[in-house]
Structure 1
Amino acid sequence: MSSDQPLAADKVESHLPETQAPPPTTETAPQRRALATDKPPEGPSEPYPERDEPVVEPLSTAATYFYTISYLIVFSIFGTLARLGLQALTFYPGAPVVTGVVWANVGGSLIMGFLLEDKNSFREEWGKPRKPHNNIIPQDFDAAEESKRHKSVKKTIPLYIGLTTGFCGSFTSFSSFIRDIFLTLANDLPDPSSSSIASRNGGYSFMALLAVLLTTVSLSLVALIFGSHCALALDRFRLPPTLPFRLTRRIIDPLIAFLAWGCWLGSVFLAIWPPHENWRGRAIFAIIFAPLGCLLRFYVSLALNARLPSFPLGTFTVNVLGTIILAMCYDLQRVDYIGASVLVSCQVLQGVMDGFCGCATTVSTWVAELNGLAKRLHAYVYGTVSVGVALGFFVIISGSLKWTVGFVDPVCG
């Protein structure tokens, strides 16, 4: 098997960058006329698009950007709350896997794989109907080229950007994954089955590090591929149903915009006024910082991912930067008179880690890029460098405090 083959046999196609800029102000659908034969072709036929007349849809660039940002805000909030909730549900006595964020990474990767291969939800694209017409196949139709074009165009739709970059990217967290690797190495990973952590030697800590690393990466990759298989299987039944363009543009987009800015502003007011119970403080401060991290990842990925096709520089940058910020907040939270004894300071730092760092870093996009890189060698280099650099920074920042002065238990738990 040559080194030019993809990482997995059933490759999930992932074009870089993950999202593209919205389309220009006015777009005219290309005119395509079907050359009909006297009878339909033999065998089952797919519903190919027929565009006898050009369809003109005025698209406001400003409105499209506004809706895109709104989707990113609201889905980053939902993704953060879903990640925190799933971590709480999977942290129970006797849990076979004690790193709760692994299940959020698996779930987000599965949804990402489904959305990447889904051909039905956004079939209307920018108001251009894609419906069968008497099952007649145009003679100039190229199914592979049409599928590639559709995958590229749907990445400019605000709702798709919100689901992939917003929800999946915020549901998964690369920085929390690296934090758990460090905690296993430092023999400080919380165990729901015991109030104290048993001491172990360095060899066992290294084995624990490998366990967290291999479990998260392998399960996330498998979930990504399984999600793509689910989308391909449902495509035979024309599922999920196509979202009407007029419905999304006239009803869903304005509604999401209202909810996004309203929820974000409401969370700010809730954070200002006490009381700050443990659960309330952790959730509120997390969703305040979540949209900031998501928007940072969105713009950095747009600016840098396309520069090196063999190494997604944008995703790498935000993953490493978010991990560095999380390591610094983790240290400050465990220092006297900062986060270890002041409740609000501890909760703010936890909100930065769960919200900003959790949304600025992503595992779902990372594994999609690993699986989508053209050469297997590029995927191994990208994955190894991402984990190695991020973990190296975490060891330098947090390890220097852990193995010298030591951590103090934070007041917010």
Structure 2
Amino acid sequence: MGDTSSNQNGSIHNNPWRREDTEDNVLETSQSHGQGAAAEARAADEAHLSEVAAPPPIDREEEEEKEKRSIPPNPAREQGIPLSELAAPPPVSREPSRRRPWDHQVSPTRESPPPPELEQAEKRSSAAAPSVSKRATQLYVVSYLVFFAILGTLARLGLQALTFYPGAPVVTSVLWANVGGCILMGFFGEDRNLFREEWGDNSNPRTEEDEAAFAEWAKKHKSVKKTIPLYIGLTTGFCGSLTSFSSFMRDVFLALSNNLSVPVGGHVSRNGGYSFMALVAVIVITVALSLSSLIFGAHCALALDPLSLTIPFRFTRRVLDPLIVFLAWGCWLGAVFMAIWPPDRHDGPPTHEHWRGRAVFAIVFAPLGCLLRFYASLHLNARIPAFPLGTFAVNIFGTIIEGMCYDLQHVSGIGALSATASMTKSILTSCQVLQGVMDGFCGCTTTISTWVAELNGLGRRRHAYFYGLMSVGVALAFLVIIMGSLRWTIGFKNPVCA
């Protein structure tokens, strides 16, 4: 027995292949334990997700490493051979992705002790900042959402009017509003300078200790930035209201039913195959441009990083936050008064009141949709980390309301005239109110910018594809039932406020 055991031990020590297998098993065991711990930490981290907790659309460290790498030599370029289309690099890198799950506000009990440099910066910032109560912070957040929801709605309506012209290459005018909102969302998500004074100076590191302090600062800044009222107003308020998922899905259905609005001329009859191609075109163009705009906005933030454009911290806390309370509620109340007493009421007959239908009713309903989206995502997104339930719910809900209002607006006696009826003030007002609900409430309840930020930020690609396909598929199914039941029975009538 002793000889047998000694021979076995000797064979193990003398056989390098067996020794490597043993080391590989130990390494695999340690890696499995590490992956299990990482999964548990990731599940704990994803417990407090909200709409503004979506990660930046690109990895800054990965981009900085790409900048440091030298460009490999290209024999074709050295020999003077012109580069062809096949010489372009692949759009997706084969290297392991460094994308991480969503970041959120880290609890103080789970944080490691900050470096001394960071503590000093925090003390200076805390000493310079006046204390703000929790209720005051909530008031500031709601006020910013109300104010930027109004601005985002007006910007969306303005872009739609500017981009809807004869000969336009794309007749879905809401596309450019979605592109603009996604660019701004990518910029604000990646930027580190605008709200830098919230956590002191972030000068360039020179030593290893400085690099450690800078890394800790960047981690804290990323999480704290998403709790700043102004940042919430710019992203959730303005970007979310500038983009509209319900208008996008309405255009998808209208492309399917051959009712998509054109600047001049009428619709030409076509078969179902062309309608399917139009449906796919609207979906692909909108999603592709929105995702690429998100990345472009992040690249703009990286390009402007050396300029160090910063919003003064004291100005924000002492001047802008209190001022926005009066501006937001004053603008909203003024819009309500203008809807009750329109300025053009005495300029002609009652049937010529067009002021309310163009923008006033929209900005009356816009803050309600924005607040609904914010609180729904705040309470529902954390339930399923791999599927942002809050954003999905408000997008589907807003799309359903959009389809119902569109049907009512295109029915005789409510928003449209019958063949024998004449224009009345009640029909005009009902048509304008329905248009305001679609442009204001539905447009601000649903969002494209947050949707594509979540698609880009989900940890696994299959989760992103499932989330995106479910959002588009469920919304389109509801519109086929709601709008299709009217379109393919009695047809749409022209609304009087079109």
TM over 0.5: yes
Q: Take 1:300 and 1:85, find their aligned partners in 2: how far apart are those partners?
A: 28
The 3-state SS of whatever aligns with 1:51 is: helix
Would you say the 8 A contact 1:33–1:52 is kept in 2?
Answer: no
The 3-state SS of whatever aligns with 1:217 is: helix
1:145-190: per-residue Cα shift (whole Å, max 9, x none)?
Answer: 5323211110100000000000000000000000000000000001
2:449 is the alignment partner of 1:361: no
1:11-33: per-residue Cα shift (whole Å, max 9, x none)?
Answer: 8888377xx79x99xxxxx8742
Q: Take 1:101 and 1:136, find their aligned partners in 2: how far apart are those partners?
A: 49
Q: 1:186 aligns with which of 249, 257, 266?
A: 257
Q: 1:122 aligns with which of 174, 195, 213?
A: 195
TM-score for both structures, normalised by structure 2: 0.72
Q: 1:175 aligns to what?
A: 246
Using CA pairs under 8 Å that are at least 6 residues apart, name the structure with larger relative contact order, 1 or 2: 1
Would you say the 8 A contact 1:178–1:387 is kept in 2?
Answer: yes
Unaligned runs of 5+ in 2: 1-57, 59-90, 346-351, 418-426
Would you say the 8 A contact 2:431–2:495 is kept in 1?
Answer: yes
Q: Within 5 A, what are the aligned runs for 1:332-343? A: 332-341=408-417, 342-343=427-428
Give the AA of the match of 1:216.
T
1:228-277: per-residue Cα shift (whole Å, max 9, x none)?
Answer: 01111211x143x2112110011111222111101100000000014263
Would you say the 8 A contact 1:32–1:52 is kept in 2?
Answer: no
Give the AA of the match of 1:51.
A
Q: 2:33 aligns to what?
A: none
Give the AA of the match of 1:170.
S
2:186 is the alignment partner of 1:113: yes
Q: 1:253 aligns to what?
A: 321
The 3-state SS of whatever aligns with 1:206 is: helix
2:492 is the alignment partner of 1:407: yes
The Cα shift of 1:306 comes to: 1.4
Unaligned runs of 5+ in 1: 1-5, 25-29, 35-47
2:335 is the alignment partner of 1:267: yes
The Cα shift of 1:358 comes to: 0.1
Q: Take 2:205 and 2:300, find their aligned partners in 1: how far apart are those partners?
A: 28
Structure possessing the higher radius of gyration over alpha carbons: 2
Higher helix fraction (1 or 2): 2
2:110 is the alignment partner of 1:15: no
TM-score for both structures, normalised by structure 1: 0.86
Would you say the 8 A contact 2:122–2:200 is kept in 1?
Answer: no
Q: Take 2:186 and 2:436, find their aligned partners in 1: how far apart are those partners?
A: 28
Q: 1:315 aligns with which of 363, 387, 391?
A: 391
Q: Take 2:177 and 2:101, find their aligned partners in 1: how far apart are those partners?
A: 21
Would you say the 8 A contact 1:283–1:351 is kept in 2?
Answer: yes
Q: Take 1:267 and 1:197, find their aligned partners in 2: how far apart are those partners?
A: 36
Would you say the 8 A contact 1:109–1:168 is kept in 2?
Answer: yes
Q: Take 2:99 and 2:205, find their aligned partners in 1: how far apart are those partners?
A: 31
Q: Take 2:375 and 2:479, find their aligned partners in 1: how far apart are those partners?
A: 24
Q: 2:175 aligns with which of 75, 81, 102?
A: 102
Q: 1:207 aligns to what?
A: 277
2:380 is the alignment partner of 1:295: no
With 197-206 and 138-147 compared, the bigger mean Cα shift is at: 138-147
Q: 1:384 aligns to what?
A: 469
Q: 1:324 aligns with which of 377, 397, 400?
A: 400
Q: 1:38 aligns to what?
A: none
Would you say the 8 A contact 1:12–1:228 is kept in 2?
Answer: no
With 208-217 and 246-255 compared, the bigger mean Cα shift is at: 246-255
Q: Take 1:202 and 1:278, find their aligned partners in 2: how far apart are those partners?
A: 37
The Cα shift of 1:307 comes to: 1.4
Aligned residue pairs total 382
Q: Take 1:133 and 1:151, find their aligned partners in 2: how far apart are those partners?
A: 17
Q: Within 5 A, what are the aligned runs for 1:217-236? A: 217-235=287-305
Q: Percent identity?
A: 65
Q: 1:370 aligns to what?
A: 455
Cα 1:376–1:223 shift into 2, 3 Å: same
Give the AA of the match of 2:490.
V
